[in-house]
Every structure is written in C-alpha cells, then in structure tokens.
C-alpha cells in the first residue's frame, strides 16, 4: 500500500511558471507542463493555464499522492488553435520533449516494445464541463502493441477490448465517424455470439470486431486507422482542442456563463487500468453527500471496469462502502487521501480513482458540484469544523441556488401505494415535479412552448447524454432508468436545480417506441407523472405537491445572518398587490421598488371602467370613468402601505399601451364580417361579449361594433412599445395622473391617520426630457398639496422617475433637477439601447447566442458595456446635480446575481426584484460587498 503524507493546509509548491523543469526556448510560451515522479511544473492555483483537471493533477502530484504521471498542454494552445486553426511547431516540440520525459520516467515507450506506454488524452477547462468535450483512452495501441499488452498482462481479452475501445473512440472523436457505425458492428457481434453482455465476447470475437472497426474507419474516413502512436497523439490532441468548439460544449458554456475564449487544456496521462480483473476497478465519489450535504463518504465504483463505464451510466455501479469489504486497504487509503484533500482545499471534493491490480491511483479531484441545500449544510459544517471562516462560507452558495430551498415536496397524503411506479430510483436532484412525459430532447423543446413559463414536461430517457442538454434545460424534471448518482443526468440537473430521479431500474424506457413501462402499465408521450427527486420515487398521474421544508429554510436563514452584514445595498421587491408585498417582506424585502399600477386595472371589476376611460374621446367622460377607478386604486394603495409599514413603496404611474385593454382589432373585424350571416344564438353570444361597450340587444351590434373598431383603429400603433405609454399618457391625459396621485395621497393620509407610517415614492415612467418630468412632477405635487389641505394632514413623499431611455441617461443631470430619485428600468433601457423589441427578441437571440455575437441574453443579465455604461453615466450625472439622489433598479436584472453585483459596483442604493428572488438578490449583494472587502483586506481574494 502506498503511504501518502499530505499536509492539511499549504501543499502548493512555490514554483512559478518561469522556473519549470521542461525546457522552453527563451521568449517562447511554455505550452506543456509536466507532472510525475513527485513533482509538477504547475500547481493547483494555475486553473487558468492548466484547467481544473490539470491544476488538480499537478497539485496532487506535488503532494506526493499516487497520480499516474503525464503532462498538460495549456489553454493558450487551445486559444492559438482557435485563432490559427492549428498549432505551432513549438507546441509539437514541447509535447515531444514531455513525452520523452514521461517515457523515461515510466521506463516505457509510447506504443512500442514489450511493455508499451499507453496514454489517455482528456480535455480539462478552467470550469468543469462534465461530458461536454472529448476524451480518448488507450492511445498508443496498434496492431503490434496490442499483442505486447496481451502477453504482458497475460490477458488477451483485455488487450483486444482496449484496442477496440481506442479505435471506436478515435474513430468517433478524431475521425468524425458516427458512433452508431461502431455500435452496430459491436451489437451484431454480440448477436452472432448469442450474448447480451459485452463480457460475453471472448478475445477472438473482439479481434473480429477490431478487423471490422478498421474496415469501417477506412470506409467512412477514407484512411486507415493510424498505426503510428505519435501520429495518434497529435491527432487526438487536436481533436480534443477542437471539441472545445463543438455545439454541446458551446451550449453548455452559454447556459453556464462560461467565456468561449478561455479554451481547454489537454491532459496526456499514463493509462492505468481498472479493467484488469477482480483486483482492479474504478470509481468516483464525494467527500460529503452532494444532494443533502450530509457528512457521508459518498460514491460509487465498479470492479473490473474503465472510468467511462461509471460516468456514462451504462453499468449501474455499487456504493463505495462495498469497496471496504472487497479491498479494505485500498478503501482506507482512499478515505485517508480524500479526507486530506478536503482539508487542503477546504471544500467538499469530487474525486475519481482507479485501482489497477490492487494499487490505488487518484485521477482527479475538484470542488464538488452540489445542490443549494448541500451547499448551505456543508458550509455551516465547515465553519463549525473550523475549516473555513463565515466570510468564506457565504461564497459557498451560488445565489441562483437559493431556489433549491423553495422547491416543492410531494404531499405524502396524496401518495397511494398503487400510484407508486417505483421507489427505488436514485434521488439525484431534490424537489418534486408534476409533468407530461416526453421521450426526446427535441420533443421537449418542441412541446415546452416559447413563454417564460414552460409547459411542465418530464424528459424520460434510459440515460441522458450531453446531446440532451437543450431538452433538459426546458424540461421541468428528468427521469432516467439507468445510471448512478454521478451519471450525466444526476450531475447536470443538480447544477440546474432541477428535479431528477435517476437509475430507476424498475422502469423500462423505450425511446424509439416512445413508451415507458412500469408495474405492468404502459405510459405514452403526454401522460402525466410525478417525480420525487428528494426520495427517488416515480408516481403515476398528477400528485399533490407541498411547499418547501421549513427546516431547510431555517438553515438558509442562519446562513443568511452571516452574509447580511456584508451587504451594502438595499433589496426591494416588485409587487403590485398586498399579498405579494407581504411575501416579499417574509423574504426580507426592504420596500417596494416597483408597483406597476396598470396590473391593478386588469381585475374583472375594474377593466370595464378602464375601457370606458380609454374609449371616450372627451375629458368629461374620462373624468367620470376615472372617478369610479379612484376608490379602487386608493384601496390598493392602502393595502400596500399597510403591508410595508413605513418602508418605501415606489408607485409607478400608468404605463401600458392603451390598446392592451381593448378587444383585438382582428377579432372585431371578424365579428363584424360574420354579423351579416349570424344566427340568433351567435348574435346572443356577441351581445353578451360586447355588453360593456353598450350592446344591449342584437340590433345594437351593427352600431356598437363598427364604432368600437373605429376607436381601436385610432388607438392602434405600429410600435406600441415605443408608443403612447409611460409619461406620454399622463401628459396627453393629465386627469389620469391626477386620479392616480389623488389615490396615492388619500391612501397615505388614511394609513397615517391609523398610526402606520408611510413612505410613498411616486415614479413617472419613460421620461426622455426634463420637461416631461416637470409636467408630471407638477401635477403630482399639486394634487399632493390639495389632498393634504383637504384632509388636514401631511405625509412625507418623493417624486422621481424611471430611467428607461438612453436619452434620459445622457440628460440625467437635467432630469435630476426635478426628480428626487431614479429607478433604472433596465427592461426598457435594454430594449431601447439595443433597439431589440423585448417581446420579439427570441426571433434573433438564439442565433446571436449560438454565433457568439452576444454572450448572454441582455434581458436577463445586464449588458455592462452598453446598457451598464449608460446606467453609470446616468448615476454620475444625476448625482452631480443632486448628490443625495436615491438610485435603484427595477428591471428584471434586479434579481440576477451578476447584475446585482454590477448595481453594487456602480453605487446604487438598492435593487428591486420579484419577491421570490429577494433572497437571491440579498445573497448576491452580500457577496458583492464581501468580495470588495476581501480584496481590500491585505490582498486576499475570494
């Protein structure tokens, strides 16, 4: 057994890139970093250069852990590859030099001699991208070396199996031959040999497979499978670099916000074999449970298998605790090493290992991906264990994962035994979800719909692969019948915070027939099922779901008490009704940053008055309609002020395009056209429909409908988002502003009278010029004075504006003379800065993202260079005029972590977001405050 001494803390050697052991020509870039024999050129801090895997291998090597030696070709080579569509001679030279060093250390030659050196060639970017890029194993095998391997291991079956795997991987990854070409050959051979399992093929059968694979290569790639190991290596390296740019890797980077320009490193490493027999094996694990955070040694392994068998989910592995029974020494050594790795990295580790003939090798270690629940639990444990400080702990939860705490649970009262299709699935990612079955990723995309709220679908697969990523993204939940807790489906959904049951072996999935069978029942596409990702159950039908577990929420609250002191900016909520305002306060909102008053008019009892107000063409009738709306608005505002108890309530005056309240033009035209031939039943229906517009009997329709159409046509706009909305409405119809201002101040005075403080901020939308602000501000202030005089009571209030147009940012200095606060409406500001229609951007956005024209959706995360720059200018100019100007944001960006960080950096006073994102925003704001402090503290960084 290998004994390893790993210091608990600093095990990074202090060598820098300039003092490396492999020679670099003066002035030339160091492309290749060697590791092996107890030392490495690189270290764990060099993730930018070596990628996560390369940095981890260097770090473990330096610490004296049993790591197969090799070298890492750094990310700059990948960037060079992207720029020049190839690599320079210097990369080849350094690689050959490192290979020679590896050969001499191992006492072997690549693919030559009695004991040939075989290597793996793997990608490894700075941020882990599980399964997205390509890997080639067993490189160095050819027609000669396979015989040497057979002889040396005394295991011809193993040798031929390794060779056929190489041809298959190389054929697919390097020579671009469809996987199915090889699968068909392999399956045909199994059929011929009447075996269900790969292991049923003996050495001879595998030799036949190899011969057919080689023929297939010749046919499809128009060349022979390369026999020269050095040529294999160069081609494999280039293919792995190329895989950085494959579609699924690009897609993964896009949804995970990873920069395309980072590039991947390539790791070339001496092969160790987990498939040499029953004293060999391979596995993966976590130092703590990545789903729950429990402090369990957690993982899976397979005896007599290669790494890909575990992660691909093809064979279902056994729990790692079983290893203790079959190889206690190796198990203890693994526990010892991984415990020390965790202490060293001060974080939960996700590791990969291989056992070759009873000897343990560590292949990888990295900070493990985990659910939000696990992130908080592990962070709290580690603070209690004295491993990390509270300050460090608050970075351990990704603000986007806060949502995990709010995921639904299955209502046990609604679980009848006959509905449970299986309870033996793996609880891969927590939460419960109800949805309709789809069997392919493409079907999921097609059926999910285009709205923000997707149709609830459950993607059911035997196993998922990286090619399914687009379907997984839109599905509400994922169910697989194969694979373990570290299978693709499990890892990816956990990262997405999406419910997943994996490896549900009692469920048979036939993707081709689009059918799922369980307990003798057949389920087809569109059938409803319920998943419980917290326990691993699958149930038929739509089961009842319950809101999240308060115990977990309590843990989050505890965690938040550590984060909160670092937060410098306020967090308000966008809420229009008292119920949402109360919810927001439960989540810790410190005010309402946006009340969209038009949402109050859509209620059944209000819309007729609103329509009457819009349809009239004279001020008198408009005032009459507004008078009816006034008490309703006042009651709404009273509710909001009471719910917020003196916290700021920012009320925006009416903003929507008016036609949104009226019947659709096209529908009216059709109804008018059909009137001539309509029977009495149809006419009766039309009378009912148009009653509120004055249709009392069938005879009225002839007059009412054309008049209505005429008014709808008058109000019709070609670009309503740039049209008669925002302050333009209040300027053309000042009585609307008057009514709203009156409702606000009468409400404030009434609440104040009850002894409850109020803090109203009246917000004028879509301002482009200071004159607009003057016009609307004057009305609001006049009405305020009138109400205060009438009621004999005065309350504090502010009048300010939304900054939603580029012009407003540029003339912010002028606008601030009139406006007492600014709230950046970044939805409209993004729309008008890019000239993208908010509602139609999805026609171009997918292509823009795929082509890399935009890195991310600017309506989700703030575009710092353009929109952000305008925000910066707006704040700077506004505060020059009014140094104490209150500044916030109320566009969707206010709840998105990277945008919240930006708002902190530009000195906003608060962000405002939907109630369910308040905690996310609070944590993001705290992290922004803490990282600023950490950077300021004697050069420490996060």
Active site amino acids? 488, 890
Site for Mg ion in 781-840 (CB under 5 A): 804, 825, 828
Compute CA 511 distance to the chain's CA centroid, rounded to the nearest angstrom.
26
Residue 766 CB, shortest distance to Mg ion, in Å, is: 7
- Is residue 532 part of the contact set for Mg ion (CB under 5 A)? no
Q: Indicate whether 532 belongs to the interface with ligand PEP (CB under 6 A).
A: no
Q: Which of residues 652-681 bind ligand PEP (CB under 6 A)?
A: 655
Residue nearest to Mg ion (CB): 828
DSSP string, 151-164: HHHT-HHHHHHHHH
Nearer to ligand PEP, 671 or 828 (CB): 828
Which entry of ligand PEP, Mg ion, none binds 539, CB below 5 to 8 A by partner kind? none
Binding part of the chain for ligand PEP, among 273-281, 609-617, 820-828, 915-923 by CB under 6 A, reads: 820-828
CB closer to ligand PEP out of 371 and 650: 650
> Contact with ligand PEP (CB under 6 A): which of 507, 890, 921, 934?
890
Rounded-to-integer distance, Cα 732 and Cα 788, Å: 26
Rounded CA separation 250/256 (Å): 10
Nearest distance from C-beta of residue 720 to Mg ion, angstroms: 13
Query: In the 8-state DSSP scheme, what is residue 225?
Result: P
Per CB under 6 A, does 594 bind ligand PEP?
A: yes
Residue 399 backbone phi and psi in degrees, to 5 = -55, -30
Out of Mg ion, ligand PEP, none, what residue 80 binds, judged by CB under 5 to 8 A for its kind, is: none
Q: Which two tokens stand for residue 249?
A: 């890797």
Using rule CB under 6 A, residue 908 touches ligand PEP? no
**Closer CB to Mg ion, 70 or 657, in the complex:** 657
Q: Which structure tokens are listed for 350? A: 């996700």
C-alpha closest to that of 485 among 537, 554, 427, 422: 427
Choose the one of ligand PEP, Mg ion, none that binds residue 580, judging by a C-beta under 5 to 8 angstroms depending on kind: none
Indicate the residue among 580 and 752 with the shorter CB distance to ligand PEP: 580
C-beta of residue 103 within 8 angstroms of C-beta of residue 114: no
Confirm if 447 and 471 have CB atoms less than 8 A apart: no
Alpha-carbon span 610 to 443, nearest angstrom: 42
Instruction: By CB under 6 A, tell whether 580 contacts ligand PEP.
Output: no
Find which of Mg ion, ligand PEP, none residue 596 binds, CB within 5 to 8 Å per kind: ligand PEP
Cβ–Cβ < 8 Å for 505, 488: no
Question: Rounded distance, CA 893 to CA 594, Å?
Answer: 13
Q: State how far the alpha carbon of 31 is from the alpha carbons of 21, 74, 90, 123, 128, in Å.
A: 13, 5, 8, 15, 21
Residue 590 or 828: which CB sits closer to Mg ion?
828
Token pair 């194993």 is found at 137
Total residues interacting with Mg ion, rule: CB under 5 A: 3
| Residue 596 sits in the site that holds ligand PEP (CB under 6 A) | yes
**Least CB distance to ligand PEP at residue 827 (A):** 3
Parallel, antiparallel, or unpaired: how do β-strands 264-270 and 119-125 relate? antiparallel
Is 513 buried (19+), middle (13-18) or exposed (0-12) by CB count in 10 A?
A: exposed
CA-closest candidate to residue 476, choices 443, 526, 536, 433: 433
Interface residue with ligand PEP, options 580, 804, 896, 909 (CB under 6 A): 804
67 vs 361: CA distance, rounded Å: 5
913 contacts ligand PEP (rule: CB under 6 A) = no
The binder of ligand PEP chosen from 246, 381, 827, 898 (CB under 6 A): 827
- For residues 225-262, one letter each, b for 16 or more C-beta atoms within 10 angstroms of the residue's C-beta and e for the rest, the string is bbeebeebbbbbbbbbbbbbbeebbbbbbbeeebeeeb
By beta-carbon proximity to ligand PEP, the closer residue of 473 and 828 is 828
Distance from C-alpha of 477 to C-alpha of 473, rounded to nearest angstrom: 9
Closest approach, Cβ 886 to Mg ion, in A, equals 18
Q: Considering only residues 306, 826, 914, 931, which one is a binding residue for ligand PEP as defined by CB under 6 A?
A: 826
Closer by beta carbon to ligand PEP, 435 or else 891: 891
Cβ pair 266, 121 in contact under 8 A: yes
Binding span for ligand PEP by CB under 6 A among 168-176, 737-745, 774-782, 822-830: 822-830
- For residues 525 and 520, give the distance between their C-alpha atoms in angstroms, rounded to a whole number: 17
**CA 512, CA 508: separation in Å to the nearest integer?**
12
Cβ of residue 56: shortest distance to ligand PEP, in angstroms? 43
Q: What does 891 interact with, of Mg ion, ligand PEP, none (CB < 5 to 8 A by kind)?
A: ligand PEP
- Comparing CB distances to ligand PEP, the nearer of 555 and 826 is 826
| Rounded distance between C-alpha atoms, residue 855 and residue 869, angstroms | 17
Phi, psi of 747 (to 5 degrees): -65, -45
The single residue among 772, 828, 863, 901 that binds ligand PEP, judged by CB under 6 A, is 828
80 binds Mg ion (CB under 5 A): no
**Residue 867 contacts ligand PEP per CB under 6 A:** no
Q: Can you tell me which residue has the tokens 């202030």?
A: 781
Give the gyration radius of the chain's Cα atoms: 33
Closest contact distance (angstroms) between CB of 872 and ligand PEP is 17
825 binds ligand PEP (CB under 6 A): yes
Shorter beta-carbon distance to ligand PEP: residue 496 or 571:
571
* Beta-bridge partner residues of 883: none
Binding of residue 868 to Mg ion (CB under 5 A): no
Positions 42 through 61 that interact with Mg ion (CB under 5 A): none
- Residue 287 near which of Mg ion, ligand PEP, none (CB within 5-8 Å, type-dependent): none
- For the bound state, the minimum distance from the C-beta of residue 283 to ligand PEP, rounded and expressed in Å, comes to 50
The SS3 of residue 289 is coil
Number of residues that bind ligand PEP (CB under 6 A): 10
Taking the C-alpha atoms of residue 771 and residue 229, their distance in angstroms, rounded to an integer, is 76
Q: Which is nearer to ligand PEP, 68 or 891 (CB)?
A: 891
Shortest Å distance, C-beta 598 to ligand PEP: 8
**Own/partner long-range contacts of 198-201 (Cβ < 8 Å, ≥24 apart):** 198/161
Positive or negative: CA dihedral 527, 533, 537, 542: negative
894 near Mg ion, judged by CB under 5 A: no
* H/E stretch holding 521: strand 521-524
Shortest gap between Cβ of 659 and ligand PEP (angstroms)? Answer: 16
Residue 594 contact, options Mg ion, ligand PEP, none, Cβ 5-8 Å cut-off depending on partner type: ligand PEP
Residue with tokens 């990390």: 388
Toward ligand PEP, which CB reaches closer, 448 or 870?
870
C-alpha span between 154 and 383 (Å, rounded) = 52
- Encoded tokens for 213: 């694979």
Q: Quick check: 752 binds ligand PEP (CB under 6 A)?
A: no
Nearest distance from residue 593's CB to Mg ion, in Å?
A: 13
Nearest distance, CB of residue 720 and ligand PEP, angstroms: 12
Q: Is 767 in the site for ligand PEP (CB under 6 A)?
A: no
CA distance 776 to 746: 18
Task: Give the nearer residue to Mg ion in terms of CB position, either 468 or 761.
Answer: 761
Tokens of 490: 């499990």
Least gap, CB of 638 to ligand PEP (angstroms): 23
Pick 117 or 890: Cβ nearer ligand PEP = 890
Shortest reach from residue 875's CB to ligand PEP, in Å: 16
Are 901 and 918 in contact by the 8 Å Cβ rule? The answer is no
Q: Which stretch binds ligand PEP (CB under 6 A): 355-363, 630-638, 825-833, 871-879?
A: 825-833
From Mg ion, ligand PEP, none, which one binds at residue 115 (CB under 5 to 8 Å depending on kind)?
A: none
Q: Point out which residues bind Mg ion (CB under 5 A).
A: 804, 825, 828
Q: Point out which residues bind ligand PEP (CB under 6 A).
A: 594, 596, 655, 804, 825-828, 890-891
């Amino acid at each position: 057994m290998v004994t390893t001494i790993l210091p608990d803390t600093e095990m990074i050697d202090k060598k820098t890139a300039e003092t490396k052991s492999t020679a670099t020509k003066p002035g030339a870039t160091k492309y290749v970093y060697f590791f092996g024999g107890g030392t490495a050129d690189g270290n764990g801090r060099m993730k930018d250069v070596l990628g996560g895997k390369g940095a981890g291998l260097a770090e473990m090597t330096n610490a004296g852990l049993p790591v197969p030696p090799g070298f890492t070709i750094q990310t700059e080579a990948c960037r060079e590859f992207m720029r020049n569509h190839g690599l320079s001679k210097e990369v080849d030279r350094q690689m050959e030099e490192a290979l020679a060093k590896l050969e001499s250390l191992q006492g072997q030659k690549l693919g030559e001699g009695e004991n040939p050196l075989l290597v793996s060639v793997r990608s490894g970017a700075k941020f882990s991208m599980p399964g997205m890029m390509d890997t080639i194993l067993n490189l160095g095998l050819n027609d000669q070396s396979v015989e040497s391997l057979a002889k040396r291991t005394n295991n011809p079956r193993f040798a031929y199996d390794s060779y056929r795997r190489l041809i298959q991987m190389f054929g697919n990854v390097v020579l671009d031959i469809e996987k199915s070409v090889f699968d068909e050959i392999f399956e045909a051979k199994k059929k011929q040999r009447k075996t269900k399992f790969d292991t049923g093929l003996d050495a001879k059968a595998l030799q036949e497979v190899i011969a057919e694979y080689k023929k297939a290569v010749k046919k499809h790639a128009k060349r022979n499978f390369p026999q020269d190991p050095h040529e294999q290596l160069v081609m494999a390296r280039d293919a792995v670099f190329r895989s950085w740019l494959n579609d699924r890797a690009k897609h993964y980077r896009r949804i995970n916000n990873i920069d395309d320009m980072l590039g991947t490193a390539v790791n070339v490493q001496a092969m160790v074999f987990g498939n040499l027999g029953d004293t060999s094996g391979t596995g993966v694990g976590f130092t703590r449970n990545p789903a729950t955070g429990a402090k369990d040694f957690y993982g899976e392994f397979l005896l007599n298998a290669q790494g890909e068998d575990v992660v691909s989910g093809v064979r279902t592995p056994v729990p790692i605790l079983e290893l203790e029974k079959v190889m206690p020494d190796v198990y203890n050594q693994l526990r010892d090493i991984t415990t020390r790795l965790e202490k060293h990295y001060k974080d939960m580790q996700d590791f990969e290992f291989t056992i070759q003939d009873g000897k343990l090798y560590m292949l990888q270690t990295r900070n493990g991906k985990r659910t939000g629940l696990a992130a908080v639990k592990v962070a709290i444990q580690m603070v209690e264990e004295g491993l990390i400080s509270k300050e460090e702990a608050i970075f351990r939860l990704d603000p986007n994962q806060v949502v995990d705490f709010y995921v639904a649970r299955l209502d046990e009262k609604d679980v009848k035994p006959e509905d449970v299709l299986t309870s033996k699935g793996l609880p891969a990612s927590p939460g419960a979800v109800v949805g309709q079955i789809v069997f392919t990723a493409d079907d999921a995309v097609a059926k999910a719909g285009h709205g923000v709220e997707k149709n609830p679908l459950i993607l059911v697969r035997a196993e998922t692969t990286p090619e399914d990523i687009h379907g997984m993204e839109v599905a509400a939940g994922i169910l697989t019948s194969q694979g373990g807790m570290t299978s693709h489906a499990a890892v990816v959904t956990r990262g997405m915070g999406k419910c997943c049951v994996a490896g549900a072996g009692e469920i048979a999935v036939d993707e081709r027939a689009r059918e799922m069978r369980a307990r003798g029942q057949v389920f087809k596409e569109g059938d409803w099922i319920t998943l419980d990702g917290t326990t691993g159950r699958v149930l038929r039908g739509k089961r009842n779901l319950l809101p999240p577990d308060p115990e977990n929420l309590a843990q989050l609250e505890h965690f938040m008490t550590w984060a909160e002191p670092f937060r410098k900016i306020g967090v308000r909520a966008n809420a229009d009704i008292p119920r949402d305002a109360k919810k927001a306060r439960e989540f810790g909102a410190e005010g309402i940053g946006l009340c969209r008053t038009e949402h109050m008019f859509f209620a059944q009892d209000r819309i007729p008055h609103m329509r009457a107000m819009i349809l009239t063409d004279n001020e008198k009738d408009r005032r009459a309609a507004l008078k009816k709306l006034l008490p309703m608005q006042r009651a709404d505002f009273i509710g909001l002020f009471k719910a917020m108890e003196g916290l700021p309530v920012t009320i925006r005056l009416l903003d929507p395009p008016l036609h949104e309240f009226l019947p659709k033009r096209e529908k009216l035209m059709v109804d008018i056209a059909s009137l001539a031939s309509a029977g009495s039943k149809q006419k009766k229906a039309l009378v009912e429909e148009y009653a509120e517009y004055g249709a009392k009997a069938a005879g009225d329709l002839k007059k009412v409908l054309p008049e209505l159409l005429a008014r709808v046509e008058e109000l019709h706009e070609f670009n309503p988002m740039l049209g008669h909305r925002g302050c333009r409405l209040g300027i053309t119809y000042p009585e609307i502003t008057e009514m709203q201002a009156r409702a606000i101040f009468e409400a404030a005075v009434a609440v104040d009278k009850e002894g409850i403080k109020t803090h109203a901020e009246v917000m004028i939308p879509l301002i482009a010029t200071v004159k607009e602000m003057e016009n609307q501000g004057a009305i609001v202030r006049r009405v305020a004075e009138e109400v205060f005089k009438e009621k004999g009571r005065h309350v504090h209030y502010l009048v300010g504006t939304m900054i939603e147009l580029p012009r407003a940012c540029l003339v912010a200095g002028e606008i601030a003379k009139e406006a007492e606060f600014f709230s950046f409406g970044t939805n409209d500001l993004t729309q008008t800065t890019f000239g993208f229609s908010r509602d139609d951007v999805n026609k171009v956005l997918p292509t823009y993202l795929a082509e890399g024209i935009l890195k991310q959706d600017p309506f989700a995360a703030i575009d710092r260079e353009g929109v952000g720059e305008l925000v910066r200018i707006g704040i700077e100019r506004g505060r020059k005029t009014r140094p104490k100007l209150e500044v916030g944001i109320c566009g969707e960006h206010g709840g998105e972590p990277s945008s919240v960080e930006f708002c902190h950096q530009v000195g906003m006073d608060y962000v405002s977001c939907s109630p369910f994102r308040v905690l996310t925003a609070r944590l993001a704001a705290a992290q922004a405050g803490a990282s600023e402090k950490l950077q300021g503290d004697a050069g420490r960084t996060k």
